[in-house]
Amino acid sequence: MAALAVLRRSAPARLLSGTLCVHSRVLAPWRQYQSNRHFSNDKILVEMDESTGVAVMKMKNPPVNGLSLELLTEFSISLEKLEIDRGCRGLILTSASPKVFSAGLDITEMCGKSAEHYAAFWKAVQEMWLKLFGSNMVTIAAINGSSPAGGCLMAMCCDYRIMADSPKYAIGLNETQLGIVAPFWFKDTMTHTVGSRVTEQSLQLGQMYPAPAALKFGLVDQLVPEDKVQITAAAAMAQWLSVPDHARQITKPMIRKPIVDRLVKQREADIDNFVSFISKESIQKSLQAYMDRLKQKKQ
Ligand SMILES: CC/C=C\C/C=C\C/C=C\C=C\CC(=O)SCCNC(=O)CCNC(=O)[C@H](O)C(C)(C)COP(=O)(O)OP(=O)(O)OC[C@H]1O[C@@H](n2cnc3c(N)ncnc32)[C@H](O)[C@@H]1OP(=O)(O)O
């Protein structure tokens, strides 16, 4: 038993290769940590069921769960808290807003800001990915709506993906459509999920796939009616948790650790790359034009 407990605590540290780096905003205090084991801050709500050892984490950044610096920071601190909680074995990641899982990175964080801001933002994006992709827990994405770009990345970081069965909802890495380029670790995550050939085509075209198409090539694992997404995620979680933790926890990094290590080895260079890319006038123009198109869509 003691050996299992050691494994449970030490595996994430090994997998993450010492990535417990925190931005200053990460240190913001928890609003509450109640005895019923619900905790929340502005953008992340966590409900922990102690009887099952499963936490449900809801992103709540209306209207579209844009992955802002604040949300990403709260996400990483919440995940870290669960990761070191020996009572928590599984995480279901979902959205508190109907119809959108996450619109991906908050584009306003990448427009008209300083180089220092871009660097802090990108570090928070990296941190989210390192923690979620490298998590020692069973992670299931309950994708209850559209999930472009960074939203798709988060879903792909999970061990299993259940999506609302509607052609209205689409998922994919659409970066090239915005005139930007998915970094190598986004590409690695997609390759890990669906293989090289599909990734090559999807990334070049910036393709978004309606849920039924995404199921066909394994970008998601299961489609269910919208109102059954959460309950199906809980059932799938029970199945995953029937496997002994120690065996599963040793198996997962066999596949994921080399992918995690690739970014860990070049985090600073990746940040520099992002800052220099996103600061270019031509890229700023592309992003601004994309934001204008999004707003015009409504009129
Ligand atoms: C060489 C390489 C080196 C380094 C790497 C370099 C670069 C990599 C850089 C970045 C990687 C980025 C990854 C990303 O995640 S970019 C974000 C991409 N996201 C999208 O394209 C999603 C766009 N949004 C939508 O498609 C839709 O909003 C929707 C399907 C999610 C929801 O549709 P709805 O009809 O329900 O809602 P809307 O009316 O469209 O939107 C409401 C509201 O929200 C604003 N908004 C939408 N998405 C975003 C976003 N991602 N960021 C900020 N704001 C967003 C939208 O404009 C509306 O605003 P208003 O109400 O009009 O004010």
Taking the domains of the chain in order of start, what are their residue ranges? Answer: 19-296
**Region of poorest pLDDT, from 24-38, 62-76, 216-230, 240-254:** 24-38
- Give me ligand 1 centre to Cα 65, in Å: 9
- pLDDT tens digits, one per residue of 67-92: 999 999 999 999 999 999 999 999 99
- Give me ligand 1 centre to Cα 265, in Å: 29
* Residue 187 in tokens: 């590409």
- Give me ligand 1 centre to Cα 209, in Å: 16
What is the enclosing helix (H) or strand (E) of 285? helix 281-296
- pLDDT tens digits, one per residue of 87-117: 999 999 999 998 999 999 999 999 999 999 9
- pLDDT tens digits, one per residue of 133-192: 999 999 999 999 999 999 999 999 999 999 999 999 999 999 999 999 999 999 999 999
For range 29-49, the mean pLDDT: 72
For range 224-241, the mean pLDDT: 98
The best mutation among 61, 64, 107 to test binding of ligand 1, ranked by most ligand atoms within 8 Å of the C-beta, falls on 64
Going by C-beta distance under 8 Å and a sequence separation of 6 or more, which residues neighbour residue 57? 44, 45, 46, 75, 78, 79, 82, 91, 92, 93, 94
Nearest alpha-carbon partner for 95 in 29, 38, 162 = 162
pLDDT band at 28 (very low <50, low <70, confident <90, very high): very low
If one looks up domain 19-296 in CATH, what number appears?
A: 3.90.226.10
Residue 81 phi/psi, 5-degree rounding, is -60, -45
Going by C-beta distance under 8 Å and a sequence separation of 6 or more, which residues neighbour residue 192? 156, 255, 256, 259
Whether the predicted pLDDT of 35 surpasses 70: no
- CB neighbours of residue 95 within 10 Å: 26
* Residue 52 in tokens: 């099952």
The C-alpha atoms of residue 176 and residue 63 are separated, in whole angstroms, by 23
For range 268-280, the mean pLDDT: 98
The catalytic residues are 105, 150, 174-175
Chain centre to alpha carbon of residue 195: 19
